[in-house]
Amino acid sequence: MRIGLNLLHALPDIGGGWNYISNLLAAVGREDTSNEYVAFVTEASETLVPKQPNFRVERIALRSAVRARRVLYENSALQARASREELDCMHWFANALGLVNAAPAVVTVYDVQPFVPYGRLSKAKRAFLRWQLRAAVRRAAMLLPMSRSTADALQTILGADATRMTVIPPLLESVFSLPAIDVVDRCRRRYALPERFWLYVAHMYQHKNHERLLLAYRDLKRANPQAWPLVLRGDPQPGSNVPALINELGIERDVLILPTLSRVDLPALYGAASALVFPSLYEGAGIPVLEAQACGCPVVASSIAAIREFAGDAAVYFDPMNVADIHRAMIGVADAAAGRERLRTRGLERARDFRTVPVVSDLLAAYAQAAGVSGGAGKRDSHGR
């Protein structure tokens, strides 16, 4: 097969989406040498493409951040190029596809957030994102939700056809593994970390639920002045009031907000933490939970479907809407050293599942199914010619 990869939207600052694409394509580059890939990239996204003989880069002079121009290109010149390349299918990595597609479209779906009541989306943006997802569900040859919970939501909310969906879960990077003691010690010194601390890794979006976490932590400190400090690693977002709320609650001496860390430093931070607390109200998968488990960090987390799907029995859960329940779960884990060790051991075991999942073979099967959906000009024979 000849497979197109539309990476025109991708920028490093899209965070989890960038990491998901990077890890997936790296795995494809390692394991698939028989199919041809044509990657349509900008200067910013070119680094996502594996340096393998069967991957060809087509750099487009676009700025990914200028959405209107990019979308116009995707619906005009990109379609013409896809036709000339005689692609068997085109993989779109951002919940969307073209209005008319010269090659069958395979669409990665991270979540259905425009249909849930979290986040500060304007009415216009929410309406646009809903339209995009509806169009993808109607017209994509294959949908690739990143979790079973997202697949279920696509069926329940939008009536997606289960026979045209394949779950392609996130893969853990090799850097997320149990860090060496000296690496953890250097991280402690560099960021002046306390000996024991709670950690939350998430940008400060509304649905990440920092407010209820801070209220629960305030109650934790009132009940036990010796409670572990709380370390936050996440960037403020428009409308974020996290720093102000920390001061308002009088916990500024006990809450540390870290600057941006490199991906290399993040495993050491997880390794240094006594436990991860993850109170998010909505996730497509909850990748930080997997990363923490892979680095030997016990997890206390929101009981939402996506996190339960990935963390399994290797986490203690709470109701993220209930401050008292967050407080309860944090006390229980902090007071039980044996319980933390069990979570740590089980988390390391659980993380192995996301290094050995046959994700590439599932992805290639989805590409093959998409190529067979349309009998257009891009259709090839069984040998990929």
Q: Tens of pLDDT along 110-135?
A: 999 899 887 677 889 899 999 999 99
Q: What is the pLDDT of residues 346-360, one digit of tens each?
A: 999 999 888 767 899
Residue 48 has pLDDT above 90, yes or no: yes
Residue 191 CA neighbour count, 13 Å, CB half = 26
**What does the pLDDT read at residue 373?**
55
Give the start-to-end residue ranges of the domains of the chain. Answer: 2-171+357-373, 181-355
Residue whose C-alpha is closest to residue 168's, from 360, 316, 313, 376: 360
CATH, domain 181-355, list 3.40.640.10, 3.40.50.2000, 3.40.50.2300, 3.40.1160.10: 3.40.50.2000
Q: What is the pLDDT of residues 134-147, one digit of tens each?
A: 999 999 999 999 99
- The secondary structure of 299-367 as a DSSP string is EEEE--HHHHHHHTTSSEEE-TT-HHHHHHHHHHHHT-HHHHHHHHHHHHHHHHHHHH--HHHHHHHHH
Q: Model pTM greater than 0.75?
A: yes
By the 10 Å C-beta count (0-12 exposed, 13-18 middle, 19+ buried), 357 is classed as: middle
**What does the pLDDT read at residue 187?**
94
Residue whose C-alpha is closest to residue 103's, from 380, 374, 382: 374
- Residues in the chain, how many? 385
What confidence category does residue 64 fall into, taking pLDDT thresholds of 50, 70 and 90? confident
Cβ–Cβ < 8 Å for 30, 54: no
Mean pLDDT of 154-163: 96
CA 308 and chain centroid, separation: 15
Cβ–Cβ < 8 Å for 231, 213: no
User: Could you tell me the two tokens for 359?
Assistant: 């994700």
Name residues whose C-beta falls within 8 Å of residue 180's C-beta, 6 or more positions apart in sequence.
Answer: none
What confidence category does residue 379 fall into, taking pLDDT thresholds of 50, 70 and 90? very low
CATH, domain 2-171+357-373, list 2.60.40.10, 3.40.190.10, 3.40.50.2000, 2.10.70.10: 3.40.50.2000
Element (H, E) at 233: strand 230-233
Mean pLDDT of 319-326: 98
Which has more pLDDT, 262 or 193? 193
Q: What is the pLDDT of residues 23-44, one digit of tens each?
A: 999 999 999 999 999 999 999 9
Domains 2-171+357-373 and 181-355 share a fold: yes
Identity at 302, one-letter amino acid code: S
Cβ–Cβ < 8 Å for 269, 233: yes
The position carrying tokens 């690739």 is 144
**What does the pLDDT read at residue 316?**
97
